[in-house]
Amino acid sequence: MTVISAPTSAVANEVKPPDVVPLVQTGAVPAQPNITAAPLMPAKAATPPPESSGIGRKDALAVGVAFLAGGLVVFISCYAAAARQVPASWPVR
């Protein structure tokens, strides 16, 4: 098997770049301008007004106490009605 090598004349015809390339100043604008990062939050963030249901803390406390008192009244009345239905023959502890 024989190996065919490239002719030496093809290597001799290559153009070699010069060792030092002079820099030429032009008035061209750079392709990518300097980009600075923008802040994530604006300087003065606008805050929305607080949402209010129109009821204050004291009013909410009064409504909660009224519900608890009403639930307690219903519980005691049901318990008392059930206690009245107990036959007298049941053992009392």
Please check whether residue 5 lies inside any domain of the structure: no
Q: Is the pLDDT of residue 76 over 80?
A: yes
Average pLDDT over residues 12-41: 70
18 inside domain: no
pLDDT higher at 42 or 25: 25
Q: Is 9 domain-assigned?
A: no
The domain in which residue 61 lies consists of 57-85
The pLDDT score that the predictor gives to residue 63 is 95
Q: Distance of alpha carbon 18 from its chain centroid, rounded? A: 57
Q: How many residues does the chain have?
A: 93
Question: Token digits for 27?
Answer: 């008035």
Residue 91 pLDDT: 63
Domain count, the chain: 1
Q: Does a structural domain hold residue 12?
A: no
Domain for residue 63, yes or no?
Answer: yes
Asked, for residue 45, whether it belongs to a domain, the answer is no
**Taking the alpha carbons of 57, 59, 60, 66 in that order, is the dihedral positive or negative?**
positive
Q: What residue has token string 């007004």?
A: 49
Would 11 be classed as within a structural domain?
A: no
